[in-house]
Amino acid sequence: MASWGEASESRLIGKRVTRLSGKDKVTGKAKYTFDINEPGMLYGRILRSETAHATVMGIDLSEAEALPGVKAVIPLIEVGNKLRYQGQEIAAVAAETDDIAKDAIRLIHVDLEELPHVVTEDDAMAEGAPQIREDWANNQSEPNVREDGDINTGFDEAAVEVEATYHTPVQTHVCLETHGHVAKWEDEQNLTVWASTQGVFGVRNDFAQHFELPANQVRVITEHMGGGFGSKFGPGIEGRTAVELARITGKAVKLMLTRKAEHLVAGNRPSMTQQVRAGATSDGRLIAYDMKGYGTGGISSGAGFTGPYVYHVPNSRAERVNVAVNAGNQRAMRAPGHPQGAFAMDSLMDELAEKLGMDPVEFRRINDPNEVRQAQYTLGAQEIGWHRRNSVPGSGTSVKKRGMGVGSGQWGGGGGRGTEARVTINADGTVEAVTGTQDIGTGIRTVIAMIVAEEFGLETTDVRVKVGDSQPGLPSGGSGGSQTTPSVAPVIKTAAAAAKQKLFERIAPLLDAPVGDLRVGTGTIYVVSDRTKTITWKQATGQLGMESISEGGTWEEDLRQNGAAGTQFAEVEIDTQTGAIRVIKIVAVQDCGLAINRLTTESQVNGGVIMGLGQAILEERFMDPVTGRMLNANLEDYKVPGTFEIPEIKSIVFDTHRKVTGVGEPPCIPTPGAIANAVYNAIGVRIRSLPITPDKILDALAEKA
């Protein structure tokens, strides 16, 4: 059975190793798609609709075409078709400079017949609302209903009940490198595209299909990538447009989305509104849960969210619908559906606990079937100092009040098949590991190097890792679902083991020992039964002469495990005069399985917490019902966490076993619930709608008084 070995035997695995791309990233040498400058490259831009709902009556490209420096102008929608949200593509240009492209966009004349729009869930669901999807009645999908047990029996047994409505708004991903591509046709049959993507091979296959090319004649490169968070899988219309503009002009074309377009069309986390009624027995058992909820993923569906979440409820009913609005489509965003559901569930848990007169942690202990989280509750409570918690929510007379809260989360992250890799040992002792995954900032490049270096007794920097290129034809899946490391690591491990075995076979005669007696040391290979027989790595590989050893690997299920449990504790301080909220500290206890690189794992957990904090207190897409436009499609009015919002974060990498589990998504799940519960504990008023902003806090305090 394949295994990662014991922690005591590991020289690198499980340690803190600085990332291989570090030097390139701190010196500005790292080239992202946005940084590619090809000779004679043109700049592409897209004209987008400022109208939420309209029929295109005419498009006049002639003035734009006549502008000096403009090399191509193409329509992206046919006359007679409908535009269904602000930001939808109308036409595109390619020009010698980005400024000329911008000028040309202004010279495209579009004639529209405006149609009535709806951009908020309430407007879409209102009686007599304009119908914006022909396949849905009242702008709503058929309800999805899930039932377990019998809620009527459950409520009969309940000693306490809570009824409440929880809401989370639409969030946008805010990838700092916007979606984009640089496309270049090498000749009529060979296409190279630099893509800011989470899935090199998915993008390659899309282009191959769309432009009717053999897949091996499309090369997609993602050397470095500036943030995706679930929004960067397919090439999108902008990717196909870049390739088409390059085809027409015969030049390389760079087409990156503007910041505004990134907010409007490059995905978002759907909203959630849920009305829930739940009950618990007098001894603290959750017994009944009845929820009706809805959310919007824009004009598309996909507005799912979890509920009930994590905790065991024997009798439950959950009914969800998607609501269509005239806004850009949702895309997967870091743990899709989970942070919304977790916020509602953890808020509900605290409301029930209070009615029972129970400590929120104690109430969770009774109802959480997960053993890992049971241990995490103890550790997290200790670390935050739960005993210091405000015993009576809202008590005290000071202007600034502090409180603590807890939240939980659960994710899969077990990875899967579909990765091919090759580990090569050259006669000069150099080592290469190649696979078609991509490093989107999570540090998989370094993880690969660590695994190979551990296997060969080398240093991480001795291993040359090539990822983010479809050219070697070694596919790997997209980096989503926290699947990258658990999908890739087992294949690299077995490939390295196979290569090592081949090397041992070659040098066993030289060392006059059976192959099974050979071991790697640090930069050496020795005979375990006679340690005087030791040669250096380079002496060993020197035996290869003109040859190399190159081995593939297999995905061994024993090397990874599904299931990442997490618990977070938050401490906040509220200024009751201004409503200002400051998160003081977050303790994040995150199950990561075997964290191959503890340093980059901690970075991931910190990052998840901070994104969760943004959702909790800052982020919201504002739509204007009158104009149908997003009011804050920029980085000034759409608030993401900055230095002032960052609390003390204690990220605890909670190792539970020696198998690899992905951890990209889970750490953002428990944060909003923990913060919301801490706010309640501080001021004794519950905010059931994210983000928890000063105006909501002041309103709630005023209502209480």
Partner 1 sequence: MPEKDKKQGTNISRRNFLKGVGTGTVAATVAPSVLIGSEKAADAQAGDAIANATIELTINGKSYQVEVEARTTLLTVLRDGIDTGGNNIDLTGAKLICDRGECGGCTVMVDGKSVYACMMLAMDAQGKQLTTVEGLADGDDLHPVQEAFIQHDALMCGFCTPGFIVSSAALLNENANPTLEEIKVGLSGNTCRCGTYPFIFDAVKTASGKV
Which residues within the stretch 646-675 sit at the binding site for partner 1 (CB under 8 A)?
A: 646, 649
Q: Report the b/e string of 266-301 with b at 16+ CB within 10 A.
A: bbbbbbbbbebbbbbbeebbbbbbbbbbbbbbbbbb
Stretch that binds partner 1, among 31-39, 297-305, 335-343, 503-511 (CB under 8 A): 31-39
Asked if residues 539 and 503 have their Cβ atoms less than 8 Å apart, the reply is no
Query: Within positions 424 to 443, which residues make up the interface with partner 1, using CB under 8 A?
Result: 440-443
* CA–CA distance, 38 with 243 (Å, rounded to integer): 14
Q: Report the b/e string of 353-368 with b at 16+ CB within 10 A.
A: bbebebbbbebbebbb
Least Å distance, CB 211 to partner 1, is 27
Nearer to partner 1, 439 or 455 (CB): 439
Least Å distance, CB 422 to partner 1, is 26
The residue count for binding partner 1 (CB under 8 A) is 80
Nearer to partner 1, 87 or 413 (CB): 87
Q: Which of 223, 238, 591, 602 is close enough to bind partner 1 by CB under 8 A?
A: 602
Nearer to partner 1, 568 or 600 (CB): 600
**Under the criterion CB under 8 A, does residue 444 sit at the interface with partner 1?**
no
**Under the criterion CB under 8 A, does residue 34 sit at the interface with partner 1?**
yes
649 backbone dihedrals φ, ψ, rounded to 5°: -120, 125
Tokens read off for 535 = 């040669």
Least Å distance, CB 462 to partner 1, is 17
Least Å distance, CB 26 to partner 1, is 4
* CA–CA distance, 416 with 479 (Å, rounded to integer): 12
Nearer to partner 1, 261 or 544 (CB): 261
Tokens read off for 384 = 């935050």
Q: Tell me whether the omega of the peptide bond preceding residue 647 falls within 30 degrees of 0, making it cis.
A: no
Measured between alpha carbons, how far is residue 97 from residues 251, 499, 649 in Å? 13, 49, 44
Query: Within positions 98 to 137, which residues make up the interface with partner 1, using CB under 8 A?
Result: 98-100, 103, 105-112, 114, 116, 130
Asked if residues 613 and 647 have their Cβ atoms less than 8 Å apart, the reply is yes
Asked if residues 490 and 660 have their Cβ atoms less than 8 Å apart, the reply is yes
**Under the criterion CB under 8 A, does residue 584 sit at the interface with partner 1?**
no
**Under the criterion CB under 8 A, does residue 237 sit at the interface with partner 1?**
no
Least Å distance, CB 538 to partner 1, is 24
Q: Of 100, 69, 666, 233, nearest to 413 (Cα)?
A: 666
Stretch that binds partner 1, among 92-100, 285-293, 489-497, 693-701 (CB under 8 A): 92-100
Residue at 446: amino acid letter: T
For 453: left if phi > 0, alpha if psi spans -120 to 50, otherwise beta; the answer is alpha
Q: Which of 139, 241, 600, 615 is close enough to bind partner 1 by CB under 8 A?
A: 600
Stretch that binds partner 1, among 21-29, 134-142, 299-307, 373-381 (CB under 8 A): 21-29
* CA–CA distance, 620 with 643 (Å, rounded to integer): 19
* CA–CA distance, 613 with 323 (Å, rounded to integer): 26
* CA–CA distance, 349 with 319 (Å, rounded to integer): 19
- Stretch 180-219: interaction string toward partner 1, x if CB under 8 A: ----------------------------------------
Least Å distance, CB 115 to partner 1, is 8
Q: Tell me whether the omega of the peptide bond preceding residue 308 falls within 30 degrees of 0, making it cis.
A: yes
**Which stretches of 418-561 are assigned E, i.e. beta strand?**
421-426, 431-435, 463-466, 518-520, 524-527, 530-536, 548-552
Q: Which residues pair with 464 in a beta bridge?
A: 432
Nearer to partner 1, 641 or 670 (CB): 641
Q: Which of 25, 146, 388, 531 is close enough to bind partner 1 by CB under 8 A?
A: 25
* Helical segments of 211-252, H only: 236-249
Tokens read off for 194 = 């630099």
* CA–CA distance, 158 with 278 (Å, rounded to integer): 9
Q: Which of 4, 12, 14, 21 is close enough to bind partner 1 by CB under 8 A?
A: 21
Q: Which of 4, 92, 101, 177 is close enough to bind partner 1 by CB under 8 A?
A: 177
**Under the criterion CB under 8 A, does residue 80 sit at the interface with partner 1?**
no
Asked if residues 666 and 590 have their Cβ atoms less than 8 Å apart, the reply is yes
Query: Within positions 35 to 64, which residues make up the interface with partner 1, using CB under 8 A?
Result: 35, 37, 47-51, 54, 63
Nearer to partner 1, 100 or 291 (CB): 100
**Under the criterion CB under 8 A, does residue 611 sit at the interface with partner 1?**
yes
Q: State CA 336 to chain mean position distance.
A: 8
**Under the criterion CB under 8 A, does residue 96 sit at the interface with partner 1?**
yes
* CA–CA distance, 331 with 179 (Å, rounded to integer): 13
**Under the criterion CB under 8 A, does residue 599 sit at the interface with partner 1?**
yes
Nearer to partner 1, 28 or 369 (CB): 28
- Stretch 630-649: interaction string toward partner 1, x if CB under 8 A: ----xxx---xxxxx-x--x
Nearer to partner 1, 25 or 704 (CB): 25
Nearer to partner 1, 47 or 498 (CB): 47
- Stretch 503-542: interaction string toward partner 1, x if CB under 8 A: ----------------------------------------
Q: Which of 1, 6, 9, 27 is close enough to bind partner 1 by CB under 8 A?
A: 27
Stretch that binds partner 1, among 73-81, 225-233, 275-283, 455-463 (CB under 8 A): 225-233
Least Å distance, CB 438 to partner 1, is 11
Query: Within positions 60 to 79, which residues make up the interface with partner 1, using CB under 8 A?
Result: 63, 67-69
Q: Which of 2, 7, 23, 312 is close enough to bind partner 1 by CB under 8 A?
A: 23
* CA–CA distance, 180 with 255 (Å, rounded to integer): 6
DSSP structure string for 597-646:
BHHHHHHHHHHHHHHHHHHHHT----B-TTT--BS--STTTS----GGG-
Task: Tell me the HSE value of 46 on the side-chain side, using a 13 A CA sphere.
Answer: 32
Q: Of 542, 549, 431, nearest to 498 (Cα)?
A: 549
**Under the criterion CB under 8 A, does residue 13 sit at the interface with partner 1?**
no
Q: Which of 224, 320, 445, 560 is close enough to bind partner 1 by CB under 8 A?
A: 224
Nearer to partner 1, 19 or 320 (CB): 19
Nearer to partner 1, 226 or 298 (CB): 226
Q: Which of 90, 280, 353, 565 is close enough to bind partner 1 by CB under 8 A?
A: 90
Least Å distance, CB 351 to partner 1, is 29
Q: Which of 62, 97, 189, 578 is close enough to bind partner 1 by CB under 8 A?
A: 97
